[in-house]
Amino acid sequence: MDLSVIIPIYNEEENIPALYERLRGVLDPMPLPNGYEFIFINDGSRDQSLALIQTLAARDSRVRFINFSRNFGHQIAVTAGLDRAEGEAVVIIDADLQDPPELIPQLYQKLREGYEVVYAKRRSRQGESAAKKLTAKLFYRILASITHISIPVDTGDFRVISRKVVDALRRMPEQNKFIRGQISWIGYRQTYLEYDRAERAGGATGYTYRKMIKLALDGITAFSDVPLKAATIGGFLVSGVAFLVMLYTLYARFVSHDYQPGWASLMVSILFLGGVQLIAVGIIGEYMARLSANVRQRPLYIVSESNLPELPLPPQR
Ligand code: UDP
Ligand code: MG
Protein backbone atom coordinates (compact mmCIF):
# COMPACT_ATOMS: atom_id res chain seq x y z
CA MET A 1 0.00 0.00 0.00
CA ASP A 2 1.36 3.45 -0.91
CA LEU A 3 -0.44 5.78 1.48
CA SER A 4 -2.46 5.64 4.70
CA VAL A 5 -4.44 8.65 5.85
CA ILE A 6 -4.97 8.77 9.61
CA ILE A 7 -7.97 10.78 10.74
CA PRO A 8 -8.78 11.11 14.47
CA ILE A 9 -12.48 11.72 15.03
CA TYR A 10 -14.15 13.26 18.05
CA ASN A 11 -17.71 14.48 17.40
CA GLU A 12 -17.13 15.33 13.74
CA GLU A 13 -20.48 14.26 12.20
CA GLU A 14 -20.80 17.61 10.43
CA ASN A 15 -17.42 17.25 8.72
CA ILE A 16 -17.03 13.57 7.84
CA PRO A 17 -18.98 13.54 4.53
CA ALA A 18 -17.25 16.66 3.17
CA LEU A 19 -13.88 15.46 4.42
CA TYR A 20 -14.30 12.09 2.71
CA GLU A 21 -15.29 13.72 -0.58
CA ARG A 22 -12.43 16.20 -0.51
CA LEU A 23 -9.88 13.54 0.41
CA ARG A 24 -11.06 11.30 -2.41
CA GLY A 25 -10.99 14.19 -4.82
CA VAL A 26 -7.36 14.77 -3.91
CA LEU A 27 -6.12 11.18 -3.54
CA ASP A 28 -7.81 9.52 -6.53
CA PRO A 29 -5.79 11.43 -9.15
CA MET A 30 -2.52 10.95 -7.26
CA PRO A 31 0.00 8.45 -8.63
CA LEU A 32 -0.52 5.71 -6.03
CA PRO A 33 -0.37 2.44 -8.03
CA ASN A 34 -0.54 0.26 -4.91
CA GLY A 35 -3.54 2.06 -3.51
CA TYR A 36 -4.32 3.98 -0.36
CA GLU A 37 -6.45 3.62 2.75
CA PHE A 38 -8.33 5.88 5.14
CA ILE A 39 -8.08 5.04 8.83
CA PHE A 40 -10.76 6.75 10.86
CA ILE A 41 -10.25 6.49 14.61
CA ASN A 42 -13.45 7.20 16.48
CA ASP A 43 -12.23 8.57 19.79
CA GLY A 44 -15.38 8.13 21.85
CA SER A 45 -17.60 10.48 19.86
CA ARG A 46 -21.04 11.07 21.30
CA ASP A 47 -22.66 11.99 17.99
CA GLN A 48 -23.31 10.09 14.75
CA SER A 49 -19.64 10.00 13.70
CA LEU A 50 -19.24 6.23 14.10
CA ALA A 51 -22.39 5.44 12.12
CA LEU A 52 -21.19 7.75 9.32
CA ILE A 53 -17.79 6.08 9.21
CA GLN A 54 -19.31 2.61 9.17
CA THR A 55 -21.59 3.60 6.30
CA LEU A 56 -18.54 4.80 4.36
CA ALA A 57 -16.69 1.57 5.21
CA ALA A 58 -19.56 -0.52 3.88
CA ARG A 59 -19.45 1.33 0.56
CA ASP A 60 -15.70 1.77 0.17
CA SER A 61 -13.28 -0.99 1.16
CA ARG A 62 -10.48 1.56 1.50
CA VAL A 63 -12.23 3.01 4.54
CA ARG A 64 -10.90 1.37 7.68
CA PHE A 65 -11.95 2.31 11.17
CA ILE A 66 -11.02 1.80 14.80
CA ASN A 67 -13.65 2.49 17.43
CA PHE A 68 -12.31 3.29 20.89
CA SER A 69 -14.15 2.21 24.02
CA ARG A 70 -14.12 5.85 25.21
CA ASN A 71 -12.41 9.20 24.59
CA PHE A 72 -8.66 8.66 24.92
CA GLY A 73 -7.52 11.91 23.32
CA HIS A 74 -6.23 13.06 19.97
CA GLN A 75 -2.60 11.92 20.37
CA ILE A 76 -3.64 8.40 21.39
CA ALA A 77 -6.09 8.23 18.47
CA VAL A 78 -3.27 9.06 16.06
CA THR A 79 -1.10 6.43 17.78
CA ALA A 80 -3.76 3.76 17.21
CA GLY A 81 -3.85 4.75 13.54
CA LEU A 82 -0.07 4.40 13.32
CA ASP A 83 -0.31 0.92 14.88
CA ARG A 84 -2.56 -0.22 12.05
CA ALA A 85 -1.49 1.82 9.02
CA GLU A 86 -0.14 -0.30 6.20
CA GLY A 87 1.03 2.48 3.92
CA GLU A 88 4.62 3.14 2.91
CA ALA A 89 3.78 6.76 3.68
CA VAL A 90 1.33 8.02 6.27
CA VAL A 91 -0.59 11.29 6.38
CA ILE A 92 -1.91 12.60 9.71
CA ILE A 93 -4.75 15.06 9.21
CA ASP A 94 -7.49 16.66 11.35
CA ALA A 95 -11.08 15.83 10.49
CA ASP A 96 -12.41 19.39 10.69
CA LEU A 97 -10.90 20.49 7.35
CA GLN A 98 -8.60 22.97 9.07
CA ASP A 99 -5.79 21.04 7.43
CA PRO A 100 -6.49 21.35 3.69
CA PRO A 101 -6.48 17.92 1.99
CA GLU A 102 -5.38 19.75 -1.17
CA LEU A 103 -1.91 20.12 0.36
CA ILE A 104 -1.37 16.34 0.54
CA PRO A 105 -0.04 15.90 -3.04
CA GLN A 106 2.62 18.55 -2.43
CA LEU A 107 3.58 17.03 0.93
CA TYR A 108 3.78 13.59 -0.67
CA GLN A 109 5.78 14.89 -3.61
CA LYS A 110 8.36 16.35 -1.21
CA LEU A 111 8.55 13.01 0.64
CA ARG A 112 9.28 11.27 -2.65
CA GLU A 113 12.17 13.66 -3.19
CA GLY A 114 13.98 11.90 -0.36
CA TYR A 115 12.64 13.22 2.94
CA GLU A 116 11.28 11.06 5.74
CA VAL A 117 9.06 13.76 7.25
CA VAL A 118 7.30 16.65 5.53
CA TYR A 119 5.29 18.73 7.98
CA ALA A 120 2.88 21.52 7.24
CA LYS A 121 3.64 24.79 8.97
CA ARG A 122 0.91 27.36 9.60
CA ARG A 123 1.58 30.67 7.94
CA SER A 124 -1.67 32.06 9.33
CA ARG A 125 -4.62 30.79 11.37
CA GLN A 126 -8.22 31.72 10.75
CA GLY A 127 -11.24 31.51 12.99
CA GLU A 128 -9.34 30.83 16.17
CA SER A 129 -9.74 32.94 19.29
CA ALA A 130 -7.01 35.48 20.01
CA ALA A 131 -6.37 33.68 23.30
CA LYS A 132 -5.80 30.33 21.57
CA LYS A 133 -3.47 31.86 18.99
CA LEU A 134 -1.49 33.70 21.64
CA THR A 135 -1.17 30.72 24.01
CA ALA A 136 -0.19 28.46 21.10
CA LYS A 137 2.43 30.94 19.88
CA LEU A 138 3.85 31.32 23.38
CA PHE A 139 3.83 27.59 24.00
CA TYR A 140 5.75 26.71 20.83
CA ARG A 141 8.36 29.35 21.58
CA ILE A 142 8.82 28.38 25.22
CA LEU A 143 9.07 24.73 24.20
CA ALA A 144 11.64 25.54 21.52
CA SER A 145 13.74 27.50 24.00
CA ILE A 146 13.87 24.80 26.70
CA THR A 147 14.39 21.65 24.64
CA HIS A 148 17.55 20.29 23.08
CA ILE A 149 15.84 18.91 20.00
CA SER A 150 14.37 21.44 17.59
CA ILE A 151 10.60 21.03 17.56
CA PRO A 152 9.27 23.24 14.75
CA VAL A 153 7.17 26.21 15.88
CA ASP A 154 3.58 26.80 14.66
CA THR A 155 3.22 23.23 13.46
CA GLY A 156 0.54 20.74 14.43
CA ASP A 157 0.42 17.08 13.54
CA PHE A 158 -0.62 17.65 9.89
CA ARG A 159 2.22 16.00 7.98
CA VAL A 160 3.29 13.05 5.89
CA ILE A 161 5.82 10.60 7.32
CA SER A 162 7.57 7.57 5.86
CA ARG A 163 7.32 3.95 6.98
CA LYS A 164 10.72 4.29 8.69
CA VAL A 165 9.36 7.04 10.93
CA VAL A 166 6.15 5.13 11.66
CA ASP A 167 8.17 2.10 12.81
CA ALA A 168 10.40 4.32 14.96
CA LEU A 169 7.34 5.96 16.54
CA ARG A 170 5.85 2.57 17.32
CA ARG A 171 9.03 1.69 19.20
CA MET A 172 8.51 4.65 21.53
CA PRO A 173 6.15 3.27 24.17
CA GLU A 174 5.68 6.41 26.27
CA GLN A 175 2.23 6.89 27.72
CA ASN A 176 2.02 10.66 27.41
CA LYS A 177 2.33 11.25 23.72
CA PHE A 178 3.54 14.42 22.10
CA ILE A 179 3.85 13.04 18.60
CA ARG A 180 5.25 16.13 16.89
CA GLY A 181 8.06 16.19 19.48
CA GLN A 182 8.73 12.48 19.09
CA ILE A 183 9.01 12.89 15.33
CA SER A 184 11.56 15.69 15.77
CA TRP A 185 13.46 13.51 18.20
CA ILE A 186 13.57 10.64 15.68
CA GLY A 187 15.53 12.74 13.22
CA TYR A 188 16.18 11.77 9.55
CA ARG A 189 15.75 14.33 6.80
CA GLN A 190 12.78 16.54 7.57
CA THR A 191 11.36 19.52 5.74
CA TYR A 192 8.17 21.57 5.66
CA LEU A 193 5.68 23.38 3.49
CA GLU A 194 3.77 26.47 4.59
CA TYR A 195 0.00 26.82 4.41
CA ASP A 196 -2.79 29.06 5.64
CA ARG A 197 -4.87 27.26 8.23
CA ALA A 198 -8.59 27.47 7.51
CA GLU A 199 -11.42 27.84 9.93
CA ARG A 200 -13.07 24.69 11.33
CA ALA A 201 -15.65 23.65 8.68
CA GLY A 202 -18.43 22.56 11.07
CA GLY A 203 -18.98 21.56 14.66
CA ALA A 204 -16.97 22.73 17.64
CA THR A 205 -13.42 22.13 18.78
CA GLY A 206 -12.83 18.97 20.81
CA TYR A 207 -9.70 20.48 22.33
CA THR A 208 -10.85 22.00 25.58
CA TYR A 209 -8.43 24.17 27.55
CA ARG A 210 -7.94 21.21 29.85
CA LYS A 211 -6.79 19.01 26.96
CA MET A 212 -4.56 21.77 25.61
CA ILE A 213 -2.86 22.22 28.98
CA LYS A 214 -2.32 18.47 29.20
CA LEU A 215 -0.79 18.41 25.71
CA ALA A 216 1.48 21.35 26.57
CA LEU A 217 2.65 19.74 29.81
CA ASP A 218 3.18 16.40 28.03
CA GLY A 219 5.34 18.14 25.45
CA ILE A 220 7.39 20.01 28.01
CA THR A 221 7.89 17.14 30.48
CA ALA A 222 8.73 14.65 27.73
CA PHE A 223 11.38 16.79 26.11
CA SER A 224 12.84 19.06 28.78
CA ASP A 225 14.18 18.94 32.32
CA VAL A 226 14.51 22.72 32.48
CA PRO A 227 11.42 23.18 34.71
CA LEU A 228 12.92 20.78 37.28
CA LYS A 229 16.20 22.67 37.17
CA ALA A 230 14.34 25.98 37.40
CA ALA A 231 12.75 24.75 40.63
CA THR A 232 16.21 24.01 42.02
CA ILE A 233 17.69 27.32 40.89
CA GLY A 234 14.65 29.19 42.22
CA GLY A 235 15.09 27.38 45.53
CA PHE A 236 18.72 28.48 45.78
CA LEU A 237 17.88 32.08 44.91
CA VAL A 238 15.12 32.27 47.49
CA SER A 239 17.36 30.64 50.10
CA GLY A 240 20.07 33.19 49.34
CA VAL A 241 17.67 36.07 49.88
CA ALA A 242 16.33 34.42 53.02
CA PHE A 243 19.86 34.09 54.39
CA LEU A 244 20.54 37.81 53.88
CA VAL A 245 17.28 38.68 55.61
CA MET A 246 18.28 36.38 58.47
CA LEU A 247 21.63 38.16 58.85
CA TYR A 248 19.83 41.48 58.93
CA THR A 249 17.37 40.18 61.54
CA LEU A 250 20.19 39.03 63.81
CA TYR A 251 21.95 42.35 63.34
CA ALA A 252 18.78 44.29 64.20
CA ARG A 253 18.06 42.13 67.24
CA PHE A 254 21.50 41.99 68.84
CA VAL A 255 23.54 44.90 67.47
CA SER A 256 21.36 47.86 66.61
CA HIS A 257 18.53 46.79 68.95
CA ASP A 258 16.19 48.39 66.47
CA TYR A 259 13.41 45.91 65.93
CA GLN A 260 9.64 45.99 65.71
CA PRO A 261 7.06 43.29 66.12
CA GLY A 262 7.22 42.38 62.42
CA TRP A 263 3.86 40.99 61.42
CA ALA A 264 3.93 42.28 57.84
CA SER A 265 7.41 41.06 56.99
CA LEU A 266 6.68 37.68 58.55
CA MET A 267 3.50 37.22 56.56
CA VAL A 268 5.18 38.25 53.33
CA SER A 269 8.09 35.88 53.76
CA ILE A 270 5.94 32.96 54.87
CA LEU A 271 3.53 33.36 51.98
CA PHE A 272 6.34 33.84 49.48
CA LEU A 273 8.33 30.86 50.66
CA GLY A 274 5.18 28.74 50.81
CA GLY A 275 4.35 29.67 47.22
CA VAL A 276 7.82 28.91 45.94
CA GLN A 277 7.83 25.56 47.70
CA LEU A 278 4.45 24.58 46.35
CA ILE A 279 5.44 25.49 42.81
CA ALA A 280 8.61 23.42 43.09
CA VAL A 281 6.72 20.45 44.53
CA GLY A 282 4.10 20.82 41.80
CA ILE A 283 6.73 20.72 39.06
CA ILE A 284 8.23 17.59 40.56
CA GLY A 285 4.70 16.16 40.77
CA GLU A 286 4.12 16.70 37.03
CA TYR A 287 7.17 14.61 36.22
CA MET A 288 6.38 12.04 38.90
CA ALA A 289 2.85 11.52 37.60
CA ARG A 290 4.20 10.77 34.15
CA LEU A 291 6.85 8.48 35.54
CA SER A 292 4.26 6.45 37.39
CA ALA A 293 2.03 6.30 34.31
CA ASN A 294 4.91 4.78 32.39
CA VAL A 295 5.70 2.32 35.17
CA ARG A 296 2.12 1.06 35.13
CA GLN A 297 2.50 0.03 31.47
CA ARG A 298 -1.18 0.05 30.72
CA PRO A 299 -2.22 -0.32 27.10
CA LEU A 300 -2.56 3.12 25.57
CA TYR A 301 -6.10 2.54 24.35
CA ILE A 302 -8.89 -0.02 24.28
CA VAL A 303 -10.49 -0.88 20.95
CA SER A 304 -14.14 -1.75 21.00
CA GLU A 305 -14.42 -2.71 17.33
CA SER A 306 -12.45 -2.34 14.13
CA ASN A 307 -12.20 -3.71 10.62
CA LEU A 308 -8.40 -3.67 10.86
CA PRO A 309 -5.84 -5.88 12.62
CA GLU A 310 -2.97 -4.36 14.58
CA LEU A 311 0.21 -4.87 12.57
CA PRO A 312 3.28 -6.61 14.01
CA LEU A 313 6.38 -4.45 14.19
CA PRO A 314 9.17 -5.63 11.88
CA PRO A 315 12.38 -6.55 13.74
CA GLN A 316 14.78 -3.66 14.14
CA ARG A 317 17.86 -3.94 11.97
N1 UDP B 1 -9.84 14.92 18.42
C2 UDP B 1 -9.80 13.62 18.94
N3 UDP B 1 -9.96 13.44 20.28
C4 UDP B 1 -10.13 14.49 21.16
C5 UDP B 1 -10.14 15.81 20.62
C6 UDP B 1 -9.99 15.98 19.26
O7 UDP B 1 -9.63 12.65 18.20
O8 UDP B 1 -10.27 14.26 22.34
C9 UDP B 1 -9.68 15.11 16.95
C10 UDP B 1 -10.70 15.99 16.28
O11 UDP B 1 -11.82 15.26 15.85
C12 UDP B 1 -9.92 16.55 15.11
C13 UDP B 1 -8.52 16.66 15.67
O14 UDP B 1 -8.45 15.77 16.77
O15 UDP B 1 -9.90 15.68 14.01
C16 UDP B 1 -8.17 18.07 16.10
O17 UDP B 1 -9.09 18.51 17.07
P18 UDP B 1 -9.75 19.95 17.07
O19 UDP B 1 -10.03 20.40 15.69
O20 UDP B 1 -10.90 19.90 18.01
O21 UDP B 1 -8.57 20.82 17.70
P22 UDP B 1 -8.20 22.34 17.33
O23 UDP B 1 -8.05 22.41 15.86
O24 UDP B 1 -9.32 23.16 17.84
O25 UDP B 1 -6.91 22.55 18.07
MG1 MG C 1 -9.44 21.88 14.54
Average pLDDT over residues 99-109: 94
Claim to verify: residue 140 and residue 234 sit in the same structural domain: no
Claim to verify: residue 104 and residue 177 sit in the same structural domain: yes
Claim to verify: residue 131 and residue 230 sit in the same structural domain: no
Question: Tens digits of per-residue pLDDT, 55-75?
Answer: 999 999 999 999 999 999 999
Domain that holds residue 181: 3-208+300-306
> Is the confidence at residue 273, as pLDDT, over 90?
no
CA of residue 74 to ligand 1 center, whole Å: 6
Number of folded domains that form the chain = 2
220 belongs to a structural domain: no
Distance CA 143, CA 129 (A): 21
128 belongs to a structural domain: yes
What pLDDT was estimated at residue 113? Answer: 94
The angle subtended at Cα 297 by Cα 296 and Cα 298, nearest 5°, is 95
Average pLDDT over residues 222-233: 84
Claim to verify: residue 94 and residue 186 sit in the same structural domain: yes
221 belongs to a structural domain: no
For the domain that residue 160 is a member of, what is the CATH number? 3.90.550.10
Claim to verify: residue 155 and residue 11 sit in the same structural domain: yes
What pLDDT was estimated at residue 7? Answer: 97
Distance CA 45, CA 8 (A): 10
Claim to verify: residue 99 and residue 191 sit in the same structural domain: yes
> Is the confidence at residue 201, as pLDDT, over 80?
yes
CA of residue 43 to ligand 1 center, whole Å: 9
Show contacts of 294-300: CB within 8 Å, 24+ apart: 294/173, 294/174, 294/175, 294/176, 296/175, 298/175, 300/72, 300/76, 300/79, 300/80, 300/175, 300/177
Q: Please report how many Cα atoms fall inside a 13 Å half-sphere around the Cα of residue 218, on the Cβ side.
A: 21
Average pLDDT over residues 231-242: 83
Claim to verify: residue 199 and residue 140 sit in the same structural domain: yes
The angle subtended at Cα 72 by Cα 279 and Cα 165, nearest 5°, is 90
CA of residue 188 to ligand 2 center, whole Å: 28
CA of residue 202 to ligand 1 center, whole Å: 12
Question: Tens digits of per-residue pLDDT, 11-22?
Answer: 999 999 999 999
Claim to verify: residue 71 and residue 136 sit in the same structural domain: yes
> Is the confidence at residue 252, as pLDDT, over 90?
no
What pLDDT was estimated at residue 117? Answer: 95
109 belongs to a structural domain: yes
What pLDDT was estimated at residue 104? Answer: 96
57 belongs to a structural domain: yes
Distance CA 212, CA 132 (A): 10
Least distant ligand from the CA of 94:
1
Claim to verify: residue 101 and residue 230 sit in the same structural domain: no
96 C-beta closer than 6 A to ligand 1: yes
Phi and psi of 67, rounded to 5°?
-110, 115
216 belongs to a structural domain: no
What pLDDT was estimated at residue 247? Answer: 86
112-121, 232-241, 271-280: range with highest mean pLDDT: 112-121
Claim to verify: residue 147 and residue 268 sit in the same structural domain: no
Measured from the CA of 73, which atom of ligand 1 is nearest? Answer: 8
Tell me which residue has its CA closest to atom 8 in ligand 1: 73
> Is the confidence at residue 147, as pLDDT, over 80?
yes
Claim to verify: residue 112 and residue 7 sit in the same structural domain: yes
Measured from the CA of 9, which atom of ligand 1 is nearest? Answer: 11
219 belongs to a structural domain: no
Claim to verify: residue 181 and residue 289 sit in the same structural domain: no
